Structure 1
Amino acid sequence: MHTPFIENNQFNAIKNQTEILQQALRTASDRNVLKAVRYSATLKIDELFPDLEEDRKRHLVSMADMNSAEEFHNYLDSLEPWRAEFPPLTNKQFQKLFPKAKKLNAPDVETMDRRRLTYIGWTDIATNKMFLVFPRDGQFLGIEGRFTPTNKKGYCVICNSYDDLALFTVKTRPANSPPDYYKVYGHYVCLDGHACNTRITDTAALEKFIQSIKG
């Protein structure tokens, strides 16, 4: 029985390393270059899981010695039982996160593959609002803000990928500030939240954004 331990962003990071290695296998003619790419992949996995048991780590880093597309495909499939799920959420929990939102159209989490989620984000077209939920330290953090498509491509602050963007702006009142004092935080995020979840490899930027708002 496998105990899931690979978060979605960590799986995406591992997948990225398999793609980098496959690209090197196709294009690198210098053995030293290929050796360096293999070594780099091993280091990346060590950084992702510094305290992992040795038997599991050996399986993860075995990717660095693979050579064929079939091997990489089978390797990624073998990690599926180890992928951790995004915690379940009920409608009542969504309502508690966004008490000011009337007629909240929260997504049905039960229909989602929660192994492939780092955050839950959805938009309300009628109000041009975006809602984002992220788990931290055993709790859920919710952010609500204005969602404005930009009709241009750029780099998303969450996944750092180049794609169609929207401007996500959040107005908040900092703690211990006067009642009429507000700050507005804005970042460019992927227009497609599903695609963003498939690409995010590091939660640091997302956590920094949330920290700036929630404190």
Structure 2
Amino acid sequence: MHVPFIRNHQYNFIKNQANAVLHALRSVNDRKVVESVRYSAQTKAAELFPDITDNRKTMLESISELKTAEDVQQYLQGLEPYLLAFPQITEAQIRKLFPKNKKLKLPDLSQIDFRFVSYLSWTDISSNKMFIVYPDGERFVGVEGRFTATNKKSFCFVCNRFEELTLFSAVSKKRPANASPDYYNSVGNYICMNGHECNKNMTDVTPLERFLHSVLG
């Protein structure tokens, strides 16, 4: 029985390490350098799960034995049964996160492979809004804000990859002490326009969690 324990961003990190091994094999002639890359990949993959000591650790560390593109593909496919999917969520649960948005348009949840999702995001062109849903411990949190297309590529603050971005701006719920009734603070950052691609690329959830905290308090 496969017990899931690898989150999407961790899987992406491991995938990057596997590709680094393959790249070294293809481009580096110095055997010592290649072995160094192999050892680094093995160490970094294992360090993601310091408490694992059973056959799962052996499975992760086999990343150092990869030799071909086919090996990489088989290695990653072997990890897929252990992927810890985004927690199950219903349309009703999502609507409760945005109670003021009575005409909320939702993504088709049936078309999403939640194994490869760290956060949900979608846009509503008619209202010029973007929505983000993220599992925060035992609960879900939701943030909505304005999005402004940049029509250019740069580095996303979530996945740190060079992608087409949009400026996402949300009103912060944080209020300083003795703030006036009309106090207003907008928090913004550049994020991938395509949430699916962002989820495929992200290797660390810390930047997203930090941003959500700055909005939600």
What is the TM-score with the length of structure 1 in the denominator? 0.96
SS state of the match for residue 147, structure 1?
strand
1:139-162 alpha-carbon deviations (Å, 9 max, x no partner): 101010001100111100010000
| 1:75 alignment partner AA | Y
Matched, 1:62 2:62: yes
Q: Hey, what's the Cα distance between the residues in 1 that align with 2:164 and 2:66?
A: 34
Read off the aligned partner of 1:24 and give its amino acid letter: A
Give how far 1:95 is off: 1.2
Q: Verify the 8 A CA contact 1:159 1:200 in the aligned structure 2.
A: yes
Matches within 5 A, 1:55-94: 55-94=55-94
Secondary structure at 2:181's aligned position in 1?
coil
SS of residue in 2 equivalent to 1:79: helix
How far 1:111 sits from its partner (Å)?
2.5
CA distance in 2, matches of 1:108, 1:74: 30
1:202 to 201, 204, 212: 204
Distance 1:113 1:30 in 2: 40
**Conserved in 1, the CA contact under 8 Å of 2:18 and 2:66?**
no
Matches of 1:178 and 1:98, distance apart in 2: 25
Tell me how far 1:178 sits from its aligned partner: 3.4
- CA distance in structure 2 between the partners assigned to 1:3 and 1:16 by the alignment: 23
Q: SS in structure 2 opposite 1:58? A: helix
Deviation (angstroms), 1:180: 1.3
Alpha-carbon distance between aligned partners in 2 of 1:178 and 1:58, rounded to the nearest angstrom: 58
How far is 1:101 from its partner?
1.1
Unaligned ranges ≥5, structure 2: none
The answer to whether the 8 A contact 2:24-2:37 is kept is: yes
Question: Aligned-pair distance for 1:21?
Answer: 0.7
| Kept after mapping to 1: 8 A contact 2:46/2:60 | no
Residue 214 of structure 2: SS of its match in structure 1?
Answer: helix
Equivalent residue number for residue 95 of structure 2: 95
3-state SS in 1 of match to 2:126: coil
| Alignment counterpart, residue 180 of structure 1, candidates 170, 182, 188 | 182
Q: 1:102-117 alignment to 2 at 5 Å?
A: 102-117=102-117
State the distance in 1 between where 2:173 and 2:14 align.
Answer: 39
- 1-structure distance, mates of 2:30, 2:129: 51
Correspondence for 1:121: 121
Q: For residue 131 of structure 1, give the secondary structure of its aligned residue in structure 2.
A: strand
1:211 aligns with 2:216: no
Report deviation, 1:54: 2.8
1:154 partnered with 2:154: yes
Structure 1 spans left out of the alignment, 5+ residues: none
Q: What code does the residue aligned with 2:141 have?
A: L
CA distance in 1, matches of 2:180, 2:153: 38
Q: Which moved more, 1:157-166 or 1:60-69?
A: 60-69
SS at match of 2:47: helix
Question: How far has the Cα of 1:55 moved from its partner?
Answer: 1.4
8 A Cα contact 1:8 1:118, kept in partner: yes
What residue is the counterpart of 1:33 in the other structure? 33
Residues 6-30 of structure 1: CA distance to partner in whole angstroms, max 9, x if unpaired?
1111111111111111000001111
CA contact (8 A) 1:14 1:45 kept: yes
Is residue 88–residue 109 contact of structure 1 (8 Å, CA) maintained in 2? no
Compute the displacement of 1:107 (Å): 1.6
How far 1:46 sits from its partner (Å)? 2.3
Relative to structure 2, which stretch is displaced further, 18-27 or 44-53? 44-53
The answer to whether the 8 A contact 1:9-1:118 is kept is yes
* Structure 1 Cα separation of the partners of residues 94 and 69 of structure 2: 42
